[in-house]
Amino acid sequence: MSASSSSSSTNLMAGEEANGGVTVLPGVEDKYGGVVTEISRPMDPSTFSALLQTSLSNWTLRGKKGVWIKLPRHLIGLAETAVKEGFWFHHAEKDYLMLVYWIPKENNTLPFNASHRVSIAAFVINHKKEVLVVQEKTGRTKGKGIWKFPTGVVNEGEYIHDGSVREVKEETGVDTEFVQVLAFRQTHKTFFEKSNLFFVCMLKPLSFEINAQESEIEAAQWMPWEEYTKQPFVQNHELLRYMTDICSAKTNGDYEGFTHLSVSEHNQQGNLYFNSRDLHPRH
């Protein structure tokens, strides 16, 4: 059934009766004085527009602030109607679009869409002081003979330390154990205008045989650390010079990074990354 072919009975079911007998969109109040409504049934644009108008009037009288409308992919045709009523796109996932509206006259305090992508570089060094490096088949270093740390993007729902272990395994076939986050860099307007958090992670190799990923990696090897640092690409790159200094200091015992600790807050599990060596326990 298309969004424009639903019957009047379906349209009535799309709303719920508020105080005073006015039909409004069904919604759940959030913790910040707003309303979240998920459209689940098809309706024609004119019915949806009328429901939006009565709903906004009702929510305004009730002192609500932000209004969130979640449109599943099969009802995406209603987005134009919502935009005409003053809503704007907040974010989209593969199966839905989220629109938002701000009711009060004062400044909008709604949170922005996710602003950062998280990526990692993996510093893996063995007992021979050889570092695990790769040459990529794609990207800026393609075909330039440049050896670099394995890098990649942390997946949704994945912790930084798990992502670093996974990326090394995928690109090189080497098993590793996360040691520490040594440093991180923030940049703006990178991937589709989003910001990026780039974490330099140290990992301990648990295996040494290399099996390079065919789809992305041209070559992989264990390279003497001094040879890696003397590459012109590293010497002429400010970020890489700082990274090599930090990695060298860590290897020599002159620097401490952040280990991870599983912690819970408000019944939600997460990871705290901190300098455990210099932490002074509370008594």
**Tokens in use for 212?**
């390079």
**Bridge partners of residue 173, in order along the sequence:** none
Q: How far is CA 207 from the centre of its chain?
A: 30
CA dist., res. 122 & res. 202, Å (int):
6
Backbone φ and ψ for 238, nearest 5 degrees, come out as -60, -45
SS3 246: helix
**Tokens in use for 172?**
């090189």
With 0-12 / 13-18 / 19 or more C-beta atoms within 10 angstroms meaning exposed / middle / buried, residue 218 is middle
193 in catalytic set: no
Q: Which residue in 16, 85, 170, 218 is the catalytic one?
A: 170
Radius of gyration of the chain (CA): 26
CA dist., res. 156 & res. 158, Å (int):
5
Backbone φ and ψ for 18, nearest 5 degrees, come out as -90, 180
CA dist., res. 184 & res. 242, Å (int):
11
CA dist 59 → 29, 68, 71, 229 (Å): 10, 12, 19, 62
**Tokens in use for 95?**
């199966």
Among left, alpha and beta (phi > 0; psi -120 to 50; other), residue 234 is alpha
Q: Which residues are catalytic?
A: 170
